[in-house]
Amino acid sequence: MGGSSPCASCKLLRRRCAKDCIFAPYFPSDDPHKFAIVHKVFGASNVSKMLQELPVHQRADAVSSLVYEANARVRDPVYGCVGAISFLQNQVSQLEMQLAVAQAEILCIQMQQEPNLPTHQIDQVDKSLLLSTNNFDDNNIPQYLSFASSSNVIQDPLKRESLWT
């Protein structure tokens, strides 16, 4: 890197920061903690290999996600990111359940407003029957895992505000 200061990774690894150092664009010298945590969890060698396998325009995002995962694993050495995934999956399930109940209620209301249908038949419509026939277009979430949920690493990985709880 000529006369300019070495990047955070070369500083930590105590080596000369080459002009084409693969880490330099993503680990500036003013944020040593960022590389330190990635190195601790993944190892500099593995990170270097991962970045080399990616096209240049995707490396910044890859580094961001690696930093996020490394932070999650340091905060929660048992579950890491998986704790957040489990927690969010539970939230999605609960919301979908509430949505199903609300949609069944709408159907009941609409059926009651149907003039041709006798009211005693409408009253006997079971909500659970409506739920079972309800069609959810977006219910394609794969069940990734069934670990116990851990909410202490939830944070918007790349763009949004932190949801740290």
Partner 1 sequence: MSNSTRCAACKSLRRRCSKDCVLAPYFPPTNPQRFACVHKIFGASNTTKMLEQLPLHLRAVAADCMSFEASSRVEDPVYGSVGIISQLQEQIIKAQSELVKTKGEIAFHNAQQQLQQQQMQQLQMIHTIAQEGEDQPSWLSSSQQDPFPNVNQQLLEDYNYSNTFCGFEF
The least CB distance from residue 133 to partner 1, in Å, is 17
Residue from 65, 114, 117, 119 that binds partner 1 (CB under 8 A)? 65
CA 22/CA 44 separation, integer angstroms? 11
Provide the sign of the torsion angle of the four alpha carbons 31, 23, 41, 90, taken in this order. positive
Residue from 18, 25, 33, 105 that binds partner 1 (CB under 8 A)? 105
Residue from 4, 5, 58, 132 that binds partner 1 (CB under 8 A)? 58
> Which class for 84: exposed (0-12), middle (13-18), buried (19 or more C-beta within 10 A)?
buried
| Residues with Cβ within 8 Å of residue 83, at least 6 apart in sequence | 72, 76, 147, 149, 150, 151, 152, 153
Residues in contact with partner 1 by the rule CB under 8 A: 40-43, 45-46, 50, 53-54, 58, 61-62, 65-66, 68-69, 73, 77-85, 88-89, 91-92, 95-96, 98-99, 102-103, 105-106, 109, 113, 138, 141, 144-145, 147, 156-158, 160
